[in-house]
């Protein structure tokens, strides 16, 4: 690299020097002598068109934004590794599943409805997309944090997205489903009911991307070396357990930090607290599929874990943040059609539509059929074919061979790659049911007609607190429906097929009469409740990966603070010191303690639990500080543990804190309480449906 000293001439003729080991150049390698001033005809004259440095710089700037994704526009990504931990060679010949195999991956998490400039914490489905750079080619498992979807057939996807996105005439609301057009459409589409139960649950308010499950959604197929085919569903299970926020907390998180989730993920990886998920599978055969009261090819249905237990086959670890957000996170192109030998598609009609749609979308977004050459999309294994040219072609194929078959090799020339039946991908040959062959019809199988049974299963699998959240979510969302008076009753009529009590609660919350039950295409069945569908029933009581906000001020007892920080750290939590001033406070021992966050800018919704360690004097001062009162009040309202020194009691009293299991003294009692939330508190502090 050329060693040089940059010089730029200021408006007064002075010369500024900045040492550098790199030469600033144009995109074509021409050195730039002045990056501060455009070329002019005289010091105050017009800028000259011949200034190619200016023109290139502005030209590139004008075009540095590409079309954002229509859905999943707001996302964040990271690199990692997948390690296969179980031998499933009897199920799949895919090299990625070879026990001990380590495969590089890139993962992108996203919200669905909002644009790229929206926020991290709305009530929304989260995308969970994983690109495996396997030695047999790229495999993209492109799913969500919910195991089912709104629709059964891809032909309805544009309608779903148009309905949930900003309303066409006014361009709002952004990143939310609580508006007329979504609920008008959803209430007319009974097949959305099961997904609506999940969407109105706390699953769409994740505490962290690191504490979120992922699902492949569709039924896929595994194929072993002998050609035997099995059905499979893919599940990602977070090692930290699953956890969500509550609705009021999510709203306040949006105000506190628009980038809450992406910051949380970035900082965890940056500090070496690498997030991990286990990859688990549900495997079943055609006989099992035929025996179920639902269709396994229906993306609005799940298979209860009680019927087909999960089998863990590998672990995903995210261990490296991206070097450049645009080059990697924004340009990564996931394709459900990217599969490798040993994995295959099912006839799920939603999946079949996605196989076309994603490829078409990437060409539109990235502007070229050569998007696979972008480093984040390129396979890590050798690849080659006879596809040529196109926009942004960066490969330089040599020789005359751009067609196949050819006989050029017989004349001593390079003939290019060739097909290989043994090593290449072969679509699985499987025995199919009578209704999977025959005439081509625009119909939907009768087995897809039950839209309420699994919605009932989901609702009745939740605990009482979760059911209250679901009912309250329906009330909130439907209360945002404006002029379309027919929509809320229509939606409640559908809910009567799910659960009568749920429908009554929603109707009462909306202040409308209970409408007649909507006619169901098939009878609604009672499936056994599944604890696996409940966040609360399987939540881990742990501080690992969680943050504890510790409010301190001048006079805070140094020994109490030291003990608290050590206890939280020992429990694998992250202690965060919050003080009225970022410069810190003077502790009881006279030492200055710097804070991690300033009180007004570090509200308690950023933390999983809070400890208040104050002196009598500091507490008296903070009673007049609205941020301090809200810090405690919101922690209490968001059902979090609160540990407090005796001197801090007046602040708790002013914040309306009432004694319960989650309000403790400092020490071990607090650390134990901090690992959970206290949902029994909720009925006493807010009205739920």
- What is the rounded radius of gyration, in angstroms, for the C-alpha atoms of the chain? 29
In whole angstroms, give the CA distance from residue 164 to residue 68.
Answer: 17
Are 585 and 554 a contacting pair, CB within 8 Å? Answer: yes
Catalytic residue, candidates 144, 370, 494, 497? 144
The question of whether 144 is a catalytic residue gets the answer yes
Q: Which of 72, 261, 465, 638 is catalytic?
A: 72
Q: Quick one: 485 exposed, middle or buried, by C-beta within 10 A (0-12, 13-18, 19+)? A: exposed
Q: Label each residue of 521-585 as H, E or C.
A: CCCCCCCCCCHHHCCHHHCCCCCCCCEEEEECCCCCCHHHHHHHHHHHHHCCCEEEEEECCCCCE
Query: What six digits make up the tokens of 195?
Result: 């997904």
Do 39 and 49 meet the contact criterion of CB atoms below 8 Å apart? no
Q: Supply φ then ψ for residue 625, to 5 degrees.
A: -105, 110
Neighbours of 33 (CB within 10 A): 13
Contact by Cβ (8 Å): 416, 386: yes
204 close to 148: Cβ distance less than 8 angstroms? no
Structure tokens at 548: 């504890």
Phi, psi values for residue 213, rounded to 5°: -75, 160
Q: Tell which residue, 643, 629, 651, 644, has the closest CA to residue 678.
A: 643
CA distance linking residue 3 with residue 23, whole number of Å: 7
Q: Residue 687: name the closest of 412, 377, 472, 369 by CA.
A: 472
CB 642 within 8 A of CB 612: yes
**If DSSP codes are grouped into helix, strand and coil, which group holds residue 586?**
strand
List, in sequence order, the alpha helices (H) in 307-419: 349-366
Which residue reads 């669905």 in tokens?
112
Among 421, 443, 456, which residue's Cα sits nearest to residue 196?
Answer: 456
> Is 316:80 a contact under the CB 8 Å cutoff?
yes
Spatial separation of the C-alpha atoms in residues 378 and 365, rounded to whole Å? 17
Strand blocks (E) in 176-310: 214-215, 220-223, 229-238, 276-284
Q: Do 69 and 99 touch, CB atoms closer than 8 A?
A: no
Tell me if residue 638 is catalytic. no
Active site residues: 72, 144
């Amino acid at each position: 690299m050329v060693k040089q000293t940059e010089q730029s001439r200021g408006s007064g003729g002075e010369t500024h020097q900045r040492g550098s080991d790199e030469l600033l150049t144009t995109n074509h390698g021409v050195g730039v002598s002045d990056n501060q001033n455009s070329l002019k005809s005289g010091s105050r004259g017009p800028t000259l068109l011949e200034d190619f440095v200016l023109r290139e710089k502005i030209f590139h700037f004008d075009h540095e934004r590409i079309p954002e994704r229509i859905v999943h526009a707001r996302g964040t990504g990271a690199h990692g590794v997948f390690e296969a931990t179980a031998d499933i060679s009897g199920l799949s010949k895919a090299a990625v599943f070879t026990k001990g195999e380590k495969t590089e991956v890139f993962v992108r998490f996203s919200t669905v409805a909002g644009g790229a400039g929206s926020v991290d914490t709305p009530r929304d489905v989260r995308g969970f997309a994983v690109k495996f750079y396997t030695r047999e080619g790229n495999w993209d498992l492109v799913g969500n944090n919910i195991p089912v979807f709104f629709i059964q057939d891809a032909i309805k996807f544009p309608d779903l997205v148009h309905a949930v996105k900003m309303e066409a005439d006014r361009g709002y609301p952004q990143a939310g489903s609580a508006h007329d057009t979504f609920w008008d459409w959803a209430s007319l589409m009974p097949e959305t009911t099961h997904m609506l139960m999940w969407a109105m649950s706390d699953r769409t308010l994740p505490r962290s991307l690191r504490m979120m499950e992922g699902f492949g959604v569709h039924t896929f197929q595994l194929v072993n070396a002998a050609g035997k085919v099995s059905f499979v569903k893919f599940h990602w299970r977070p090692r930290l357990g699953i956890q969500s926020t509550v609705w009021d907390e999510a709203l306040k998180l949006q105000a506190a930090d628009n980038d809450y989730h992406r910051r949380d993920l970035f900082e965890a990886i940056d500090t070496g607290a690498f997030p991990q998920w286990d990859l688990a599978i549900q495997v079943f055969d055609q006989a099992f599929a035929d025996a179920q009261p639902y269709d396994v090819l229906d993306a609005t249905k799940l298979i209860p874990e009680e019927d087909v237990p999960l089998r863990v086959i590998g672990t995903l670890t995210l261990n490296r943040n991206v070097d450049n957000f645009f080059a990697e996170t924004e340009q990564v192109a996931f394709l459900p059609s990217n599969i490798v030998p040993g994995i295959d598609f099912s006839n799920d009609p939603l999946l079949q539509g996605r196989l076309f749609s994603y490829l078409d979308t990437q060409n539109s977004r990235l502007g070229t059929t050569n998007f696979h050459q972008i480093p984040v999309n390129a396979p890590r294994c050798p690849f080659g074919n006879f596809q040529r040219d196109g926009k942004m072609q960066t490969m330089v194929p040599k020789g005359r061979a751009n067609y196949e078959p050819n006989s050029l090799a017989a004349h001593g020339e390079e003939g290019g790659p060739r097909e290989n039946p043994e090593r290449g991908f072969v679509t699985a040959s499987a025995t199919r049911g009578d209704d999977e062959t025959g005439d081509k019809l625009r119909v939907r199988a009768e087995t897809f007609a039950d839209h309420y049974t699994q919605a009932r299963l989901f609702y009745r699998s939740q605990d009482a607190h979760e059911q209250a959240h679901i009912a309250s979510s329906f009330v909130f969302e439907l209360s945002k429906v404006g002029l379309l008076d027919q929509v809320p009753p229509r939606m409640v009529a559908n809910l009567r097929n799910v659960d009568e009590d749920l429908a009554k609660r929603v109707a009462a919350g909306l202040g409308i009469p209970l409408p007649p039950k909507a006619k169901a295409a098939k009878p609604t069945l009672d499936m056994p409740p599944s604890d696996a569908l409940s966040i609360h029933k399987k939540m881990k009581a742990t501080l690992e990966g969680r943050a504890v906000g510790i409010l301190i001020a001048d006079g805070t007892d140094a020994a109490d603070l030291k003990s608290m920080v050590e206890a939280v750290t020992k429990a694998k939590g992250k202690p965060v010191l919050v003080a009225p001033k970022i410069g810190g406070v003077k502790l009881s021992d006279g030492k200055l303690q710097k804070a991690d966050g300033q009180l007004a800018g570090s509200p308690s919704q950023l933390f999983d639990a809070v400890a208040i360690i104050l002196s009598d004097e500091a507490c008296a001062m903070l009673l007049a500080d609205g941020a301090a009162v809200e810090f405690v009040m919101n922690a209490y309202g968001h059902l979090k543990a609160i540990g407090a020194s005796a001197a801090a009691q007046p602040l708790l009293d002013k914040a309306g804190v009432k004694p319960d299991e989650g309000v403790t003294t400092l020490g071990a009692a607090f650390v134990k309480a901090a690992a959970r939330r206290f949902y029994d508190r909720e009925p006493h502090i807010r009205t739920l449906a």
